[in-house]
Structure 1
């Protein structure tokens, strides 16, 4: 996870979750280069974030890739943002359990690991997802006009978030008429064939998936209030599932419970940007071509940093 901290009072912080194992992809995909210039997907997200006014970046990583991540990002970002790194597997609440696990505890725990570095509102992203050029401006503007909302989430049409090479998991969003989040329901095995969307299981609570269903790609805007919610729920998680090597603690679950219990309101900000990512090895060529074309068309400079 990477957290970027603002250098001025008008700037914003971003936390990047980069401790995932990338099992389906087959490697440390957060640092995988996708352009001839040596850019990773995350470089494009961070470039867009800096352009949108984010000036503090906190990376949440695993201990074994800490130095590699520092080497990859620190020199690029030194003049652009306040850059910090934290290790998810060294987070005090879970450290005694981490040695028994092959994979991190999940997104909720990754975010909790960054608590000591953040006292301000912040945006959270996955390191291996490209969110589109507008997403960070949308959420930064959202901080300024949040109204009654405690938290923010950028929502994408499902059709803009699919892989051409296999199934994906997405958080299906249920919204109120005024655009606030009711719940995020994890849907697995999502596939589009001939314009028809299917998934592994049918949830009686969830509405059928359509190309325009709004989904979460884990682009959240939080205040420090989220950390108290995370800590409380993580204590329960450790008590019930701390010894299970496959159990994971997710941000979505904590947000769902907070919304359900009236402890938080989440405003959903829609974007029509297209997600790009490398879920499968075969996605890499498509992703590389996507960014090559964006550079050719002038959306990004040939060298980002």
Structure 2
């Protein structure tokens, strides 16, 4: 089997930061969250990383990351543009953003021909998650068997507001049967709840949720391609519609008889959902550095 590749969804970074040069540093030597993910991936065994980015900031991206990664991991780039794979469809003028994470994966067509893991650029996933992902990709992934790194809900909450999470529904074999979107999850009076209309529904802190860390075979790219046209036929006029990985994964399970193994991790996820989360992220990283999980300079 071919060596697993790490795919990083980074096409939305410029819209969040205005310029890549404004990417927030959290580590003591100016490291960004994305660098900790790559560092963990290298330690887990990944030899190649593919960044999915917008073509208009590829030079900035190279200037920031390539000097640090040279000689450590092979680097490649895939460009996600609004009109990618939309031949035959007229995109509304009001739409400015691409169609989401599954379109991003589709843009890897012809560029990835082996097993791959997918993560978000600005989320911290923890070393254990990359170790488990690599082991799965190296030994078990197949055209009809994918994997999803599953986090405990309590390890993904923010103290600064509500979050939305995809609750992973499983069968007795520990396989995913679906992902249910839970909106506005937060802590209230010692419990974790989410809003369902006017009702508050309690969730167990150990509930498994998806943080967009998937393990796929190349067949997933083909599935994204076959599902994209029906998506566009139905949603092209909705300028906010998104073609998302979890939705295609759901189709894989329910219509293609595919299997998605749930891969549990005790790792703590964190990211900057709110600007108030930034000090929390810094504190979490400082604690990991103090514990010796990472060096003070990742690339020294």
User: If the length of structure 1 is used for normalisation, what is the TM-score?
Assistant: 0.88
What residue is the counterpart of 2:293 in the other structure?
A: 299
Distance 1:20 1:216 in 2: 19
2:187 counterpart residue number: 192
Cα offset, 1:22, TM superposition:
8.5
Q: Is the 8 A contact 2:119 2:212 kept in 1?
A: yes
Which residue in 2 is equivalent to 1:245?
239
Distance verdict in 2 for CA 1:147–1:281, change over 3 Å = closer
Q: Which secondary structure state, in structure 2, belongs to the residue aligned with residue 162 of structure 1?
A: coil
Aligned partners of 1:244, 1:137: CA distance in 2, in Å? 39
Rounded Cα–Cα distance in structure 2 between residues aligned with 1:94 and 1:38: 39
CA shift for structure 1 position 51? 0.4
Corresponding position of 1:258: 252
**In structure 2, what is the equivalent of residue 73 of structure 1?**
65
2:229 is paired with a residue whose SS is helix
Please say if residues 83 and 98 of structure 2, whose CA atoms lie closer than 8 Å, have aligned partners that are also in contact.
no
Partner of 1:225: 219
Which residue is equivalent to 1:162?
Answer: 157
Confirm or deny: 8 A CA contact 2:103 2:243 kept in the other structure.
yes
Match of 1:214 among 186, 208, 228: 208
Partner of 2:116: 122
| Whole-angstrom distance in 2 between the partners of 1:270 and 1:302 | 29
SS at match of 1:134: helix
Cα deviation, residue 222, structure 1: 0.2
Residue 36 of structure 1 corresponds to: 28
**Distance (Å, rounded) in 1 between the aligned partners of 2:4 and 2:112:** 11
Aligned residues: 294
Gaps of 5+ in 1: 1-8
Counterpart-to-counterpart distance in 2, 1:12 and 1:215: 24
Matching of residue 234 in structure 1 with residue 228 in structure 2: yes
Q: What's the C-alpha RMSD, in Å, of the aligned pairs?
A: 2.6
1:157–1:70 distance in 2 versus 1, CA, 3 Å: same
Distance 1:276 1:180 in 2: 25
Q: Hey, what's the Cα distance between the residues in 1 that align with 2:18 and 2:184?
A: 21
